[in-house]
Structures are given as C-alpha cells and as structure tokens.
Amino acid sequence: MTKQEILDALKEKRMTEIIELIEDAESKDLEELELVESLGLLADEQLNAEVINLLKDLGVEIIYLTGDEEDEDDEEEED
C-alpha cells in the first residue's frame, strides 16, 4: 500500500489517533514507539503491518514489548 492508501483507509475507519502518529513521525516529533507485539496498533492485521512499516520508513524505531514488560511498566507508573 502507498502512504496515501494507508491514510485513506485510516480516514475511512476514523482512526485519527493513528493518522496523528504518522503526522508526528513525518515531522520528526515521534522517534520511537513501544508496542506490545501481540497487540500491535490496529485490529486489522494487514493495515497494522502497513502502518508499522510506514512508521519504520519514516524513521520511527519500533520497540516491541512482551506482555510481562508492559505489566512492569504499569506497576512502575502506579508507584
């Protein structure tokens, strides 16, 4: 998919937060993104892969967390 096709699909699904992530990546305001690999960003697996690849192409480092690491981060925030 092209960048425009990805943006069109996101607009169609009203996924404005993901569009904002892409815009932040384009303006270099987003350098890294932590994701739980099993969850990703979107429920649509194909669109999820396309968005992640686009973010990588825009220079965003994708940091994959396991479920355990995510739990540890939540516990640290509660302290």
**pLDDT value at 1 more than 60:** yes
Q: Which of 36, 37, 41, 53 is nearest to 15 (CA)?
A: 41
| Residue 78 binned pLDDT confidence (cut-offs 50, 70, 90) | low
* pLDDT tens string 23-34: 999 999 999 999
In sign, the C-alpha dihedral spanning 58, 61, 65, 69 is: negative
pLDDT of residue 38: 85
Would you list the domain boundaries of the chain?
3-78
